[in-house]
């Protein structure tokens, strides 16, 4: 009798334990057959899931290892997927002894075979950067969501304004017709944070579109529609941190999943410590392990389980959505060894892809350090094909506001290019006059349309991949010092009931149309211009406030002339440029669409740019 009672008791206990086991998340939710890397990590999250043992019976799929972590609510299953595996669904059985406690149907899909995906981006492109919350509200019904903490409030510069993916889809024609060829969206994944959730950089679910922007499937539609209109899509990804609202931060797999500090420790934001040969360990550690902000837990990519999780997450989005490129947030802030491993893994799967790292650094050699193939003395190779060219941004911001001097004015632009020997691939740098973290370009140039045109003429003809921030085409303003909300204002006409609609010529002021027409004329000219995409570059020392840059190849040449003199029109003697001009007798000025018949003297108005296609 006693034995029987004990057996019943044990059985009841076991049953109550099994009853507790639940699965609330599986990530990635699916995978694909035929990837270069055949190993897959599957995260299983659920109450006491680690008390079970997973089993898979599906031809071609074998469990290599099951990793348990400190928290028994997690299991990490490492499987191998044979290249000949037939796509399909199969159960993962979670067993306790011989009993199956719970099962989960996992799907291996055939690879994404849509046409025109994974194109990469290159100097033939011009990227339009937009912030989904601030561009256009295509679906007012999703402005608020019952499970999301922050509600929409368009009167708050730092609040959510209701923009979304449908708003982007609605204006893909506007972007394409303007002459852009790629779109980089600031992050659109779930940010379930009580405040400042609009910017998107505090992600609370790496696999889920924020419901206030739409759904994962709507993002796929955005990519498909963009591709149909000749636009590439670049996704913004963050590896340094997650948001404090992230589900795994609330129930950490292990203490070392994030960087723990005795008291809150902010990063020193001194990215040069990463490449500094004399840096102290203390400074380097604070840079990399310090938190970006209190609401952004700093991820520890030295944890190999997390590192794999992050790499797979990127590959999942590329394959799922058919992305063309990635912009990596805060490239120097995660461990640089991890960033290199991540970049290498992505490029192995997608050799035609391109990735740009946000290397927000002031100096050229430190920026070059972070580009793939740099000749670094410490042997570091980032494997990051492209990085952001902040030194050029600095030069563009300053040069047109300055009086000419030995190293001021046009010399600033000259010296940026003169140091290109430091870069392994200067043509693959992303160049920009501003972005979502910087004062608006027009504001920086003192709202002087002449300077605005000169800077854009330089940007769109020099080497590199230009990126233009939404609203630059309509002279949107705002100082970074006033707060980030002021450099991320709503695009006029993006919301129902807006009094002005700057998506249309009749909704823009004369000055806005002047800017818009100038920019789009250049963009549409540039789009099919191989000399700008891949031609060589030769420039001449600035003299008398005039800077001349040539792009050329075997078939032709383009001449950029910048006159930075405030009030002096100049007669430019052209004999100095004979190395290029000797092959040509005439030209066409692109901005004014006028023929130039005399190539010995050129009239260049004060504070202006000329772009001459030589004939």
**Interface with Ca ion by CB under 5 A: which residues?**
137, 139, 142-143, 162, 164
Q: Which long-range contacts (CB under 8 A, 24 or more apart) does 39-42 make?
A: 39/64, 39/78, 39/79, 39/80, 39/81, 40/78, 40/79, 40/80, 40/81, 40/312, 41/76, 41/77, 41/78, 41/305, 41/308, 41/309, 41/312, 42/76, 42/77, 42/78, 42/79, 42/92, 42/106
CA 419 vs. chain centroid, Å, equals 25
Other Cβ atoms within 10 Å of 24 Cβ, number: 12
Q: What is the DSSP letter of 186?
A: P
Closest CA to 430 of 236, 239, 563: 236
Residue whose token pair is 């995260």: 43
Q: Would you say 123 or 214 has its CB closer to Ca ion? A: 214
Measured from the CB of residue 498, what is the shortest distance to Ca ion in angstroms? 14
CB of residue 195 vs Ca ion: minimum separation in angstroms?
18
Longest alpha-carbon distance in the chain = 114
Residues 6+ apart with CB under 8 A from 514: 449
DSSP 182: E
Query: What is the closest distance, in whole angstroms, from the C-beta atom of residue 149 to Ca ion in the complex?
Result: 16
CB 126 within 8 A of CB 143: no
Residue with Cβ nearer Ca ion (143 or 341): 143
Q: Which residue out of 125, 324, 358, 613 is catalytically annotated?
A: 358
Nearer to Ca ion, 186 or 314 (CB): 186
Phi-psi region of 275 (alpha: psi -120 to 50; beta: other; left: phi over 0): alpha
Question: Is 329 labeled as catalytic in the residue annotation?
Answer: yes
589: annotated active-site residue: no
Of 86 and 151, which CB lies nearer to Ca ion in the complex structure?
A: 151
CB of 167 to Ca ion, least distance (A): 7
- Return the number of the residue (162 or 243) whose C-beta is nearest Ca ion: 162
Of 211 and 556, nearer to Ca ion (C-beta) is 211
Q: How far apart are CA 216 and CA 202, in angstroms?
A: 18
* Residue 162 or 290 with smaller CB distance to Ca ion: 162
- In 3D space, the residue among 401, 405, 343, 404 whose CA is nearest the CA of residue 370 turns out to be 343
> What secondary structure does DSSP assign to 474-535, as a single string?
GT----GGG-GGGGSPPPTTSSTT-S--TTSGGGS-HHHHHHHHHHHHHHHHHHT-HHHHH-
Of 190 and 324, which has the nearer Cβ to Ca ion?
Answer: 190
CB of 589 to Ca ion, least distance (A): 44
**Min. distance of Cβ 225 from Ca ion in angstroms?**
18
Alpha-carbon dihedral angle through residues 354, 359, 365, 366, given to the nearest 10 degrees: -130
**Half-sphere exposure of residue 22: CA atoms within 13 angstroms, side-chain side:** 5
CB of 549 to Ca ion, least distance (A): 43
Distance CA 291, CA 299 (A): 9
Task: Give the nearest distance from C-beta 140 to Ca ion in angstroms.
Answer: 5
Instruction: Catalytic residue, from 319, 329, 404, 434: name it.
Output: 329
3-state secondary structure of 44: strand
Looking at the DSSP bridge assignments, the partners of residue 328 are 237, 357
Taking CA atoms, 335 is separated from 274, 285, 383, in Å, by 9, 10, 14
Residues recognised as catalytic: 329, 358
């Amino acid at each position: 009798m006693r034995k029987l009672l004990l057996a019943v008791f044990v059985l009841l206990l076991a049953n109550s334990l099994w009853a507790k086991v639940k699965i609330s998340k599986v990530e990635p939710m699916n995978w694909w057959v035929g990837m270069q890397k055949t190993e897959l990590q599957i995260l299983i999250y659920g109450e006491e899931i680690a008390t079970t043992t997973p089993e898979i019976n599906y031809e071609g799929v074998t469990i290599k290892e099951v990793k348990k972590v400190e928290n028994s609510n997690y299991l990490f299953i490492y499987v191998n997927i044979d290249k000949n595996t037939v796509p399909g669904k199969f159960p993962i059985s979670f067993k306790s002894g011989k009993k199956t406690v719970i099962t989960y149907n996992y799907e291996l899909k055939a690879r994404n075979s849509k046409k025109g995906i994974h194109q990469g981006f290159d100097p033939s492109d011009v990227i339009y950067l937009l912030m989904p919350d601030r561009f256009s509200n295509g679906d007012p019904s999703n402005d608020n969501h019952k499970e999301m903490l922050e509600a929409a409030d368009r009167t708050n510069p730092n609040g959510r304004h209701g923009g979304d993916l449908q708003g982007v889809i609605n204006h893909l024609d506007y972007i394409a017709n303007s002459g852009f060829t790629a779109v980089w969206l600031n992050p659109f994944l779930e940010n379930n944070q009580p405040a400042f959730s609009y910017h998107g950089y505090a992600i609370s679910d790496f696999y889920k579109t924020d419901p206030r922007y739409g759904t994962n499937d709507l993002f796929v539609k955005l990519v498909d529609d963009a591709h149909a209109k000749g636009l590439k899509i670049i996704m913004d990804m963050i590896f340094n941190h997650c948001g404090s609202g992230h589900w795994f931060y609330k129930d950490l797999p292990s203490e070392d999943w994030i960087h723990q500090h005795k008291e809150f420790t902010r990063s020193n934001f001194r990215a040069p410590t990463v490449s500094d040969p004399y840096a102290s360990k203390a400074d380097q550690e604070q840079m990399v392990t310090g938190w970006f902000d209190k609401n952004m837990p700093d991820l520890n990519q030295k944890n190999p389980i997390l590192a794999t999780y992050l790499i797979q997450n990127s590959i999942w989005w590329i394959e799922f959505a058919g992305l063309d490129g990635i912009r990596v947030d805060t490239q120097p802030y995660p461990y640089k060894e991890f960033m290199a491993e991540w970049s290498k893994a992505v490029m192995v799967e997608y050799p035609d892809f391109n990735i740009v790292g946000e290397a927000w650094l002031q100096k050229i050699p430190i920026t070059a350090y972070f580009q793939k193939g740099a000749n670094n003395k410490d042997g570091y190779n980032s494997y990051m094909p492209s990085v952001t060219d902040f030194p050029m941004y600095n030069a563009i911001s300053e040069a047109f506001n300055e009086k000419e001097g030995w190293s001021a004015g046009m010399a600033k632009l000259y010296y940026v290019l003169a140091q290109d020997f430091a870069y392994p691939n200067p043509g693959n740098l992303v160049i920009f006059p501003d972005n979502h973290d910087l004062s608006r370009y027009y504001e920086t140039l003192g709202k002087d349309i002449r300077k605005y045109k000169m800077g854009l003429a330089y940007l769109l003809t020099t080497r590199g991949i230009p990126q233009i921030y939404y609203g630059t085409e309509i002279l949107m303003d705002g100082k970074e010092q006033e707060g980030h909300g002021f450099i991320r204002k709503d695009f006029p006409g993006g919301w129902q009931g807006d009094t002005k609609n700057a998506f249309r010529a009749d909704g823009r002021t004369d000055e806005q149309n002047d800017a818009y027409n100038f920019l789009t004329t250049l963009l549409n000219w540039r789009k099919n211009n191989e000399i700008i995409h891949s031609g060589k570059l030769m420039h001449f020392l600035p003299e008398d406030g005039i800077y001349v840059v040539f792009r050329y190849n075997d078939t032709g040449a383009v001449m950029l002339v910048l006159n930075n003199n405030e009030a002096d029109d100049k007669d430019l003697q052209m004999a100095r440029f004979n190395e290029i001009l000797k092959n040509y007798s005439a030209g066409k000025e692109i901005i004014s669409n006028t023929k130039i018949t005399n190539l010995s003297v050129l009239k260049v108005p004060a504070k202006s740019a000329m772009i001459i296609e030589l004939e």
